[in-house]
Amino acid sequence: MPDEPRSRPGDRPAAENDATPVPEPEALEHAAAPDAVLLVMIVPNKSVLDDIVTGLLDLGVAGTIVESKGLMALVRDEMPVFSGLAALMGEQTASRVVLSITSTKLAAEVFRFLDTEVSDPDRPIAATVRVSTALGLRR
């Protein structure tokens, strides 16, 4: 008969070590509104970032801005074997990603703002994704 593993001081029973199950989305008390979307904007041109942030604030849209690096910038900077390919893609190296969980109505206003107030070459890539559940939103 093989030796049973011996318990050590401080060991907890196995049931206490099990992970806590994640509650179903409908059980969370802070579920997002049914019309919530994640607004994502990739702003490759730093010169228009101030105008975009000002427009978002004017519309009442809060969010988070994250510094990012494009794929070709990563290839150029960190994978020298592909630097010739990256050289064909231009010198743009940094961009900003704007993230906001907002309503579909406010997201539509943001798209209208981007379409009318930001010129085509400077316009960010923008998209929305439906949000079924969110936690920690500030109102």
Q: How many CA atoms lie within 13 A of 76 on its CB side?
A: 15
pLDDT at 6: 57
Domains of the chain: 32-68+94-130 (3.30.70.120)
Which comes out higher in pLDDT, residue 125 or 136? 125
pLDDT at 35: 85
**Model confidence at 4: pLDDT above 70:** no
- Residue 110: pLDDT band (50, 70, 90) is very high
Residues 36-77 have pLDDT tens digits of 999 999 998 888 999 999 999 999 999 999 998 777 667 776
pLDDT at 30: 54
Which comes out higher in pLDDT, residue 98 or 15? 98
For residues 68 and 95, the answer to whether their CB atoms sit within 8 Å is yes
- List, in order, residues 6 or more apart from 119 with CB less than 8 Å away: none
List 97's β-bridge partners, or say none. 42, 66
